[in-house]
């Protein structure tokens, strides 16, 4: 068994899931599904490390490096980071006045008879062009701004929680793999 195969076997044993792409027990050669549950990020990190070049496997991966790689490759952290960015952009605009609107219109346009669809023939036909600007109550605008700031703070807290969860998952997987070698 090569060192690469032994690292894969240890990762599989540490995480309790079959290796990605390897036959799952009882499936008669069918590929195993991706690792479900809490350890999915850690499984992906360890699978990527197990597939790395043999030269990279010569030096043991430190816990700090594993955590850094786990955070960088976590889809959960990336999605939450995008949510924080979006909430921050919305928070800046929440308390502002709404955008002005351009209004165009034709009223009392004849639709039948000899003057049908001709705006210049009937004296009752009116053309409108203008700009509308809404002015919501200042208190309402302040409340919308405060709500958006609170939502931005919630998204930031969710990002911190996601990072901590990834750190925990990677740390557990790292220690499981480390003690599996001993």
CA 163 to chain CA mean position, Å: 13
pLDDT band per the 50, 70, 90 thresholds, residue 22:
very low
CB 18 within 8 A of CB 39: no
pLDDT tens digits, residue range 92-115?
A: 888 899 899 999 998 888 888 887
What does each C-alpha distance from 180 to 48, 94, 166, 170 come to in angstroms? 18, 53, 21, 15
Identify the pLDDT of residue 140. 92
pLDDT tens digits, residue range 38-77?
A: 456 666 666 666 665 454 545 788 999 999 999 999 999 9
CB 107 within 8 A of CB 125: yes
Question: Domain segments of the chain: what residues?
Answer: 3-75+164-181, 99-133
Distance CA(6)–CA(111), nearest Å, equals: 82
CB 8 within 8 A of CB 28: no
Distance CA(148)–CA(121), nearest Å, equals: 52
């Amino acid at each position: 068994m090569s060192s690469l195969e032994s690292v894969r076997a240890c990762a599989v044993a540490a995480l309790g899931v079959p290796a990605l792409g390897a036959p799952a027990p009882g499936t008669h050669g069918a590929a195993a599904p991706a690792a479900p549950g809490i350890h999915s990020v850690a499984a992906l990190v360890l699978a990527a490390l197990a597939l790395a070049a043999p030269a990279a496997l010569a030096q043991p991966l430190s816990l700090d490096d594993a955590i850094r790689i786990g955070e960088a490759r976590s889809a959960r952290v990336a999605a939450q980071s995008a949510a924080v960015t979006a909430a921050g952009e919305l928070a800046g605009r929440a308390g502002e006045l709404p955008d002005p609107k351009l209004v165009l219109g034709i009223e009392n346009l004849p639709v039948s008879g000899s003057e049908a669809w001709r705006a210049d023939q009937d004296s009752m036909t009116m053309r409108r062009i203008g700009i509308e600007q809404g002015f919501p109550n200042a208190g309402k605008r302040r409340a919308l701004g405060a709500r958006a700031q609170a939502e931005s703070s919630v998204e930031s807290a969710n990002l911190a929680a996601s990072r901590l969860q990834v750190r925990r998952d990677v740390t557990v997987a790292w220690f499981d793999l480390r003690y599996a070698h001993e």
